[in-house]
Amino acid sequence: MGVNSKHIATFLLGAAAGLAAYKYANMTEEEKEKMMADLKEKANSFKSEAEGMADKAKDYFEELRTKGSSALKDNLGDAEAMINDLFGKKNPDEKAV
C-alpha cells in the first residue's frame, strides 16, 4: 500500500493540530482569553452573515417563484387548457369512455 493524498493530508492535519496544541499550552492566560474573545467575535460575525444570507435566499426564491409563475403564464398561455384537452380532465357531468 503506497502513500496517497489522504495519508499526506492526514499527516499534515495531525501536525497542524499538534502545533496548535503546543502553542496553546505555552500561551499566557491573558493571551488565551484574547484568542477566545477573537474566536467568539468571528463566530458571531459568521453567524450574522449566515443569517443574512438565509434571509436573502428566502427573498430570492420567493421572487423566483413569483416571476417564474408569471413567465410561465405569459409564455405558455393556454397550456393548462391544452393539457386538460390532451389528458382528458373531464367535466364532472361527463362519463368516462
* Domain residue spans of the chain: 5-87
Write the pLDDT tens digit of every residue in 28-82. 999 989 989 999 999 999 999 999 999 899 888 888 888 877 777 777 767 767 7
Return the residue matching grid coordinates 435566499. 57
**18 compared with 93, residue with greater pLDDT:** 18
Would you say 4 and 12 are in contact if contact means Cβ atoms under 8 Å apart?
no
Buried b / exposed e over 27-63, threshold 16 CB at 10 Å, is eeeeeeeeeeeeeeeeeeeeeeeeeeeeeeeeeeeee
On the question of pLDDT at 94 being above 60, the answer is no
Query: Residue 3's pLDDT is what?
Result: 78
> What's the rounded Cα separation, in Å, for the pair 70 and 92?
29
Query: Residue 15's pLDDT is what?
Result: 95
